[in-house]
Chain A
Amino acid sequence: MKTLLSLLLALALGSTAAQAESGNKYGGEDRGKPVLPSQSNNLWKQECGSCHLAFAPGLLPAESWRKVMGGLDKHFGADASLSPEENREISAFLVNNASNRWRAPTAPLRITETAWFKHKHRELAPGVWKRAAVKGPANCAACHTGADRGDFNEDRVRIPR
């Protein structure tokens, strides 16, 4: 009886540990660690950064990046098409450095639709996004001043008035 109990206990503990290990945080929709690899990519920075912040690859899972890079001619309402060579290089950088903690079968196109993003920003009043200096939730650098270096540390957040 005693052995059975300890066996059950071990199983229960084991499964909790396994669950934590498999990263069920944010329902499996977690950003990677790190979000930006130490070895960055110049073409990614230049091309993705010409209209908006070059979003770090770890913010989305690999499948999301495949979808984004497969539809650049209609990129959120704009033509952002690249040459096949450029597309290949940037896709490889994004996919190879995509979130390593994503466990859900989901692949959203928008970073703002991910569970980790919503959770992290849940305390913000909706009016903050509408401020002229913020201009919407896609403008990471408005508050995360080190966003271009992949620095999203909460302690360094400065929300403009």
Chain B
Amino acid sequence: MTRITLLLTALLAVVAQTALAASPSALLDTYRAAATKEEPGFRDFSAQRGEQFFHAKHGDTSCSTCHTDNPKAGGKHAKTGKAIEPLAPVANAKRLSDPVKVEKWFKRNCNDVLQRACTAREKGDFVAWLISVK
């Protein structure tokens, strides 16, 4: 009996952890559903577009102002100098593992860099690119 309880507890823990640490592909699915709604002609995300988006200048700033041009490198907050961990999951396993956190930073950084919210396609392209970085 105790063994079954133990086994069940262990199984539950694994399931709970998987639910918390959602995979980047699940994140892409969410953005895909949103992009299909936003753009009637939407086909799929493009890692190449995501890379261009990352480097694109908006006035004086781009994503790379703080994150550097290399997604596998650590960055630095432009104003405070505080260290920023690498963006690409291949260099930083915590990245893209928490959808709520991903959305929090998209909201903040899109407002700061683009002065508007990002579209689902822009977010999906960017995530697709980050996943593709090896």
Contacts and interface: CB of A to CB of B under 8 A. Distances in A.
Interface in B35-59: none
A79 B118 CA distance: 14
Contact of B80 (A81, A82, A83, A135): A135
B81 A78 contact: no
Nearest to B80: A52
Contacts of B111: 73, 79
Interface of A: 50-52, 73, 76-83, 135, 138-139
Contact of B107 (A77, A81, A139): A81
**Main DSSP-derived SS at the B contact region:** helix
Nearest to A72: B108
Contacts of A50: 82
Given A79-B107, A79-B111, A139-B80, 15 more contacts: A50-B82, A51-B77, A51-B82, A52-B77, A52-B80, A52-B82, A73-B111, A77-B79, A79-B108, A79-B112, A81-B107, A83-B104, A135-B81, A138-B80, A139-B81
Q: Which of A51, A76, A81, A139 has the most CB of B within 10 A?
A: A51
Contacts of B107: 79, 81
A2 B63 CA distance: 78
Interface string B100-113: 00001001110110
9 contacts: A50-B82, A51-B77, A51-B80, A79-B107, A79-B109, A79-B111, A81-B107, A82-B104, A83-B104
Contacts of B77: 51-52
A78 B82 contact: no
B82 to A, nearest CB: 6
B27 to A, nearest CB: 18
Which size class do B's interface residues fall under? Answer: 10 to 19
A80 B108 contact: yes
A147 B111 CA distance: 30
A50 B77 CA distance: 10
A135 B77 CA distance: 12
B21 to A, nearest CB: 17
A90 B77 CA distance: 22
A104 B63 CA distance: 42
Contacts of A80: 108
Nearest to A49: B82
A79 B108 CA distance: 5
